[in-house]
Chain A
């Protein structure tokens, strides 16, 4: 019985210790987020507020689908397909990663091409040779 009690008390002490460490970690993380300005709502309750945030083409990532990229940057549906000669039948409902795998392309190069293509559309004054 005494051993049984000691086991539970030890377990409680260990869990309390872990909880305390997690709580400190949580507070430090919150403080960091607040300091970097990330702990700031980017969307309000106002439904008339322009809900598309300003994304930079550099934020395009491999997990995104072409459909999502088109929507985020208000691109015409076939713009990327025509500019990058994309013939994949799943376009635009295919992720960039899957497209690269299906066509045996280099991910980094393809991602950069997509970003540049989107940048050309969003900032037409920037010309690339």
Chain B
């Protein structure tokens, strides 16, 4: 077990629901914290009766949602300014970024929902959605759906496989990356087909 995860587990045991909320919130904001592991571990503790599983579900979901919306808002408001400040202004105005934004805006449901299952992908998608000025209501809807599904999934793993959650979670981590890559591949294919369709339509 990594020392970061050990520290997080100690943090969760001391601060309980407040700790879980903070980890989920900061992870969605892009801070490299193991939010998925935290949810699984909290549910494992709930399985023993040390925490309440329903409060874990509510707190975990709320932390994720607020973190996602905050990251989206910050990216939307300050994203391009930060990129220019980091001397990445050319990237901010590049056609590559516009293409990624268009793909994500057009196929946002799949990208946003599935990215909730992978900590790093969540932060990236949140940032791109904000940079691309995706409509807030659409982003919020898909983020909420994805966060609810993600919390239920990881909580179930922790709750029902309590004694073996660490072994199961490592395998789940591999599975979440498969989902992310599959989503990217599908998005590329669909975007490519859409571009062909638009070219035909415009003659």
Contact = CB atoms under 8 A, between A and B. Distances in A.
Interface of A: 8, 11-12, 15-16, 18-19, 22-23, 25-26, 29-30, 33, 38-44, 51-53, 61-65, 67-68, 71-72, 93-95, 97-98
B13 A42 contact: no
A96 B133 CA distance: 47
Contact of B163 (A42, A94, A97): A42
B78 interface: no
B161 interface: yes
B14 interface: yes
A79 B76 CA distance: 54
12 contacts: A8-B192, A12-B188, A12-B189, A16-B185, A19-B181, A22-B178, A30-B171, A42-B47, A53-B48, A63-B1, A71-B50, A72-B50
Interface residues of B, number: 33
A38 B169 CA distance: 11
Interface stretch (B2-10, B63-71, B104-112): B2-10
A43 B165 CA distance: 11
Contacts of A64: 9-10, 13
